[in-house]
Structure 1
Amino acid sequence: MSENKILVVLNKHVQNNFWLYIVSLLCICTGIVLGMYSVRYMGSFEKTDLLSYIKNFNTAINSGNISYKSIFLETLKSNIPILLAMWFLGLTMIGIPIILIIDIIKGFTIGFTISFMVNGMGTKGILFSLLGVLPQNIIYIPCFILASVIAMDFSMAILKDKTNRQWTSNIWIRVTSYSLSFLLVSVVMFIGFFTETYLSPNMVKLIAASIGSIII
């Protein structure tokens, strides 16, 4: 019964904010495309530096020297501040444009990473992307889209009802509900954190052991 209620609430939320979902998705897709094209204009020095970093990562995986703690902390540093920024921006009346810019930047990061690996390592770069980048982003991207829409919806509600006394009297209840929504998104994202920390490196290690080094 509770699962049906959750589905009903989610379905209503999507229907009420359909265009916000479309806009957020388009921003992320735009960022991915920009990230892919930006690799073409990188200098040889930057490409060599980044390839060296990937080679060191690959060597650490192959040697078994994987610091799961460091990877986990990096995933937290890379994602939690973004969620907190979206949460804060949703509490303002001018946060929507910045939220959309964050979506573009997030998409840019994903597009750049995948394009760089494919451009620098060829076919093996595709395999590296599928194993090391895609699994966690299957979780991250929907979570960031959901967080973006929740924040934009709340920001628009503030803008529409800023003169409404009822809104003012219930502000703390609505802010609490809004914050709990972000907390739930964070909980789901922890699945992505553990995927990026434990699953992706070991998948890369397993394939590398089977076909040799991922790096050419």
Structure 2
Amino acid sequence: MFPNKKARWSQTIHQHMRNQKSLYIFVAVLFMMGVVFGTVIVNMLDPNQKSGLLNYLGYFFRQLHEDQIAEPFVAFQHATGDHLKTIGLLWILGLSVIGIPIILILIFIKGLVIGFTVGFLVNQLSWDGLWFACVSIVPQNLFVVPTFIIVAVTGISFSLLLIRNRLIHHRGAIYPSFVSFSLLAMGMGILLIVAGGFEAYISPWLMKKVLPHTSWISSMIHLSLK
């Protein structure tokens, strides 16, 4: 029973990926454009803006060094809440005909934020910044980004189905697709809870392990203590 069900799920996922291949490529490229644009913005910051961000980083590193960051459970609530709100918004936008451009904008902004954060760390802290980004930003986003892209693509696909079946042909069933889209969004929400747990409980531990081994970050901590 279970092997057959697993095989059906695998076949369904494979068919979905094949049918929406071009849409996945488009959304992934849009996300990467956001990442690139975010790194470009870093080079456009004036010295005062960079100084302000560096001061904030120094304060954050000091708080992390002294174990004064938010309690893991509080951080878990905030991280998970933000992720689930985004998934919920993508789901709602996918149910509307006019939601497609907003979905694309959200994916672009997600890439922009990641690109800017990693780009600023690398720009200011060189290899130390890259190493810190690898343990603080990349791990949870290995869950978050694919999840957002999957829900975004499925939402866009459902919106296009609405346009074809309700606005153009005025016929065709949409309820099965609605149920599938909703179940997928719920499943992705579970993955985001896992990502929130990693972000709250594992990432701070990894960041604290990195701090003593990065010369730039250690010097920033000492400067912020003065």
Pairwise same-fold verdict (TM > 0.5): yes
Q: Structure 1 residue 10 and structure 2 residue 13: aligned?
A: yes
CA shift for structure 1 position 210: 4.8
What secondary structure does 2:217 align onto?
A: coil
Give CA deviations for 1:131-181 in whole Å, capped at 9, x if unaligned. 1011011111111110111101100110111144442xx54x543332121
In 2, Cα distance between equivalents of 1:149 and 1:117 = 30
CA shift for structure 1 position 73: 3.3
In 1, Cα distance between equivalents of 2:105 and 2:214 = 40
Give CA deviations for 1:103-156 in whole Å, capped at 9, x if unaligned. 111100000000011112122111110110110111111111101111011001
Equivalent AA in structure 2 for residue 56 of structure 1 = Y
Match of 1:132 in 2: 136
In 2, Cα distance between equivalents of 1:102 and 1:88 = 13
**Is contact 2:121–2:129 with CA below 8 Å preserved after alignment?**
yes
TM-score where L is the length of structure 1: 0.90
What secondary structure does 1:95 align onto?
A: helix
Gaps of 5+ in 2: 220-226
Q: Structure 1 residue 41 and structure 2 residue 59: aligned?
A: no
**Is contact 1:58–1:213 with CA below 8 Å preserved after alignment?**
no
In 1, Cα distance between equivalents of 2:128 and 2:211 = 10
In 2, Cα distance between equivalents of 1:193 and 1:36 = 25
Change beyond 3 A, Cα 1:215–1:25: farther
Match of 1:148 in 2: 152
**Is contact 2:27–2:149 with CA below 8 Å preserved after alignment?**
yes
In 1, Cα distance between equivalents of 2:162 and 2:17 = 19
In 1, Cα distance between equivalents of 2:20 and 2:177 = 17
Q: Structure 1 residue 113 and structure 2 residue 117: aligned?
A: yes
In 2, Cα distance between equivalents of 1:204 and 1:131 = 6
User: 1:208 pairs with 203, 208, 211, which one?
Assistant: 211
Q: How many residues are paired up?
A: 213
- Tell me the C-alpha RMSD between the 2 structures: 1.9
**Is contact 1:128–1:214 with CA below 8 Å preserved after alignment?**
no
In 1, Cα distance between equivalents of 2:45 and 2:170 = 51
CA shift for structure 1 position 81: 2.5
What secondary structure does 1:119 align onto?
A: helix
Match of 2:98 in 1: 94
In 1, Cα distance between equivalents of 2:185 and 2:147 = 10
TM-score where L is the length of structure 2: 0.87
In 1, Cα distance between equivalents of 2:46 and 2:37 = 17
Match of 2:55 in 1: 52
What secondary structure does 1:214 align onto?
A: helix
User: 2:107 pairs with 103, 110, 124, which one?
Assistant: 103
**Is contact 2:90–2:152 with CA below 8 Å preserved after alignment?**
yes
CA shift for structure 1 position 9: 1.1
**Is contact 1:117–1:126 with CA below 8 Å preserved after alignment?**
yes
Change beyond 3 A, Cα 1:63–1:126: same
